[in-house]
Amino acid sequence: MTSKADTPLLAYLGLGSNLGDREANLLDALRRLEIHGIRVVAVSRFFETPPAYVLDQPDFINACAAVEAACSPHDLLKVLLQIEVAMGRVRLIDKGPRVIDLDILLFGDVILASEDLTIPHPAMLERLFVLEPLCEIAMEVFHPVENTTIGELLDELRAVESSD
């Protein structure tokens, strides 16, 4: 892995799977991160969640992981995409069924908007299936754009969801 950072930064990843042995897929992805030199330091519980956006597909298992990454955000994205391909991910339908989905949610206090990567993840604020597992391992972590904690963001989203 190409390294542009001298000191590893703490990044938070979202993981999801709804094809095959979903839990084994998440565990395999975590193992593969370690093989690529990405140290996994914390993992949330696994949450079974109904699909969002494309509803005609199996339920997901979702989780979040805290990782130490001594690389740039783009280099981390390359590793995640390599893992997805190696595990058999095929992108036929946007937000459709997948063996594995790996997303960078936060990368230290980096704010980045490029053609292929946005950090913090732009949709995390509207997804309980991201904020609930993320809150388990990063409740007090600040979202660098919203300038509030992940725990507070989860509370806000739950309030919105319950008023609908």
Which residues participate in catalysis according to the annotation? 89, 98, 101, 103
DSSP per-residue codes, 40-101: EEEEPPPEEE---SS-SSPPEEEEEEEEEE-S-HHHHHHHHHHHHHHTT---SSTT---S-E
State the DSSP code for 126.
G
Measured distance CA(51)–CA(94) in Å, rounded: 12
Phi, psi of 85, rounded to the nearest 5 degrees: -65, -45
Measured distance CA(78)–CA(13) in Å, rounded: 14
Measured distance CA(13)–CA(40) in Å, rounded: 10
67: its two tokens: 């990782």
Residue carrying structure tokens 């109904």? 50
